[in-house]
Copies of this chain bind each other. A is one copy, B any other.
Amino acid sequence: MSVEGSLISFFFNPSSIAVIGASRNPEKPGHVILKNLIENRRRGLLKCQIYAVNPNIKEILGVKCYASIKDIPEPVDSVVIVVPAKIVPRVLEECGEKGVKAATIISAGFSEIGNVALENRVKEIALKHGIRIIGPNCLGIFDAYTGIDTIFLPPTKVLRDGRELVSAPRPKPGFISMISQSGALGNAALDYMAGENIGINKFVSYGNKIDVDESDLLEYFLDDPNTRVVIMYLENIKNGRRFIEVASKVSLRKPIVVLKAGRTGAGAKAAASHTAALAGVDEIYEAAFRKTGVIRAYNMEEMFDVAKALTYQPPARGPNIAVLTDGGGAGVMAADEIELLGMRVTDLSDQTLEKFSELKRKGVLVPFAVTDNPVDITGSATTEMYDISLRILLEDPKVDGVILIALHHIPGIPDLEEFIEKLTKTSWSYNKPVTVCVIGGSEAAVYIREKFDERYLPAYPSPERAVKAMYALVKYGLYLKKMNVLDRYLREWEPLSKA
């Protein structure tokens, strides 16, 4: 099924969208959603036609209000339904008669609170008319490129002194698409991404998933050009066989990162209360993920650390990692983490050792620099020393990836911009992954991480996080190798930037 041919594309890129249950009350989802859509069109982002449906009013936010979707004179591709649960079947029936292709049902009050019969009626109506459904009981979708946005939470909160704080931000456009079984967690993830300046392509919270589920979306993202990595927050999988089939296909071309909660007894029990579905035995999920090349993350921080690395950097050819640092302690921490994760703090080749010795003889590196791996060019390091050492490590055939640790406080890096530009350029001259660690919360630390990220060298605030990110690149590389597609993958892999 191609992206163009799939009805699912009507969710993200309709030529017209109607908000059914549009409201004048600024607190209501039917207002927030309509307002977001109108605003995105005003900004030139959203290109499609917007309609409002509510039988009780004539106009909202300058948009004419229709009593029923059937009264809209033009065709309607997609609808967002925010009416009370009881009315959803009737409204959906009308959508069917109108020829709607895709319905996002935000409304709650279905199987999640025991109203199974009502949910089944919705399912039947959708099936009868061939309407694809996302939801019900969901946040719906957000597309950073087309401007479709059904997230209805209050965008800001106001403090007593009148200050308005952004509360539900949207991440910048990027190359990660996210699927979340939990709306609240999905929204929290968007908040997290915005804070970390990680870009998003498409976001879907699919709630009770009576129709479109994780496998459908995964399949859709396979051919979605701006999706480089798919991340999923899951509590259970509806149809395991289909998931395995789709995930196997997708992960040969795009990395999939899954955060699957409910892995312990207590967690699974909590998940069952949450989604009214059995979370299942975690070992089965674990096996399915391993088999299909899905990379599992164990918390949200890790999910995004890993997704960022997989989006920005090529997979590694093997588990042999070199560390370059100006602080011994951070090098030790990185070495520990590399070994703990089952990678190797690789021995360097004789040529590399000889190159380093020569640099010491010539006075390019200080005599007490440690040129075994981890390579510690010490607090006397300069941009030049970093750059030449990084080049030597990336040239070494025994090195599959480099952890670059820059404790930026040293006097030898007076020009941060030069440092970032040089190392980025060197790093992009080799088709090997590099992850960066810059510790600290100072303006300088934040600046350096941001600038490396902008040039697609993924940067992290601790050695362990930089190593874990590398580990995902190693795992994905080893999976592709096992499937005999690594060489082709690396040949076809296109960097987002050549700096």
Contacts and interface: CB of A to CB of B under 8 A. Distances in A.
A335 B266 contact: yes
Contacts of A446: 195
B416 A274 contact: no
A188 B273 contact: no
Interface in A271-287: 271, 273-275, 279
Contact of A269 (B187, B335, B462): B335
Interface string A140-165: 00000000000001101111100001
B335 A267 contact: yes
A445 B192 CA distance: 9
Contact of A270 (B300, B331, B441): B331
A214 interface: no
A353 to B, nearest CB: 14
A336 B444 contact: no
Nearest to A368: B113
B440 A112 contact: no
A409 B265 contact: no
Interface stretch (A7-15, A91-99, A119-127, A370-378): A370-378
B184 A327 contact: yes
Interface string A165-184: 11111000000000011111
A442 interface: yes
Contacts of A400: none
Interface stretch (A56-64, A256-264, A488-496): A256-264
A167 B332 contact: no
A409 B168 contact: yes
Contact of A112 (B158, B323, B367, B368): B368
| Copy count, this protein chain | 2
Contacts of A379: 183-184
Interface stretch (A68-76, A220-228, A338-346, A478-486): A338-346
A408 interface: yes
| Those 8 A-B pairs whose CB atoms lie nearest each other, nearest first | A195-B441, A191-B440, A274-B328, A184-B327, A182-B329, A185-B329, A267-B336, A264-B339
29 contacts: A113-B368, A153-B411, A156-B444, A158-B414, A159-B447, A166-B442, A167-B408, A169-B441, A182-B328, A184-B326, A184-B327, A184-B328, A184-B410, A187-B407, A188-B440, A195-B446, A264-B339, A266-B335, A266-B345, A267-B336, A267-B339, A270-B374, A271-B332, A274-B370, A279-B332, A298-B464, A299-B462, A299-B464, A301-B461
Interface of A: 27, 112-113, 153-154, 156-160, 165-169, 180-185, 187-189, 191-196, 233, 235, 261-267, 269-271, 273-275, 279, 298-301, 323, 326-333, 335-340, 344-345, 367-368, 370, 372, 374, 376, 379, 407-411, 413-417, 439-447, 461-465
